[in-house]
Amino acid sequence: MEIEVQGVNIYYEVMGEGRPIVMLHGGHVDHRQMAGDLEPLFVKHSNWKRIYPDLPGHGRTPAKDWIVNQEQVLELVLGFIDKVIPEQTFTLAGLSRGGYLARGIIYTRPASVDGALLIVPARYAVAPASSVSPHVTLVRDESVLGKLKSAEIETFEMLVVQSHRALDKLRADFYPAFELSDADFQNRIMQHYEFSFDVDRLSLPFEKPVLVVVGRQDDSVGYRDAWRMIDQFPRAAFAVLDKAGHLLPLEQEGLFRILTDEWLQRVEEYVGST
């Protein structure tokens, strides 16, 4: 499906019916990243309308030349939400750059958000060296390496835990999306990445169910910066997973699903009590 927002045709997919949850993917990929990571949750939680947009410059959503900073992307996402689920409260899930946008939505419209899942959330275009650790591979399956195509090696080498299953998921949800990513747009956004406001200084604490899950070996955004937001979220669970980097849902799939399932239960309890 497509919907026009400020002259941008935003592509999105909807799965299921019920309470809306908006899924915001990371940089250079598209909606398939979040769908691949999170759709298995909804076998047990069927009363949810899952909304997966392609952000501007990703997937099937083009980036107009006038989109030059992250705050404009945030405005487009808010306009998208207003059109797709007008005057409704909703839950958010965001990964990496999508986690930053999700926090921007919470900052802007806290009363509209029923809960948030923040997966390896980014804060900066390039995280300070003091926030991250050098890359390390903890599990290497040599039998996988011989199956890699040259274009697949760089992303596969990001994995802290390398496996056939991770490669299958990269091929299904990541590599095809890379080909659709708008390189010029990515460069513009990386030069103007941060919002004009401090996303980690909410006017009031966000007292709704939150899960922040980060990788102990994440050499892209680390885990230390994410901990600094914890006082903003009195009802947040914060998990730092060993054997996990920036591709955490692929590396710690089982534990990730347990944690996200518990978070979704907490959101359902919260919504049911209001």
Burial of residue 108, with CB atoms counted within 10 A of its CB: 0-12 exposed, 13-18 middle, 19 or more buried: middle
Per-residue model confidence as pLDDT tens digits over 41-90: 999 999 999 999 999 999 999 999 999 999 999 999 999 999 999 999 99
CATH number assigned to the domain comprising residue 29: 3.40.50.1820
Q: CA-CA distance, 224 to 130, in Å (whole number)?
A: 9
> What pLDDT shows up at residue 71?
96
Gap between the Cα atoms of 186 and 97, Å rounded: 12
Q: How do residues 205-261 score in pLDDT, each as one tens digit?
A: 999 999 999 999 999 999 999 998 999 999 999 999 999 999 999 999 999 999 999
- pLDDT at res. 123: 86
pLDDT for res 22: 98
Do 138 and 243 meet the contact criterion of CB atoms below 8 Å apart? yes
What is the total count of domains within the chain? 1
Whole-prediction pTM = 0.96
What domain range is 56 assigned to? 2-273
The confidence score (pLDDT) of residue 129 equals 80
Could you give the strand order of the β-sheet that contains 236-241, starting from the edge strand earlier in sequence?
2-5, 8-15, 48-53, 19-24, 90-95, 113-119, 210-215, 236-241
Q: How much is the pLDDT for 208?
A: 98
| pLDDT 10s digits, 129-168 | 888 888 999 999 889 988 899 999 999 999 999 999 999 9
Burial status of residue 235 (CB atoms within 10 A of its CB: 0-12, 13-18, 19 or more): middle
Residue 86: CB atoms within 10 Å? 7
pLDDT, mean of residues 105-119:
98
Q: Is pLDDT above 80 for 274?
A: no
List CB contacts of 112: < 8 A, sequence separation 6 or more: 88, 89, 90, 105
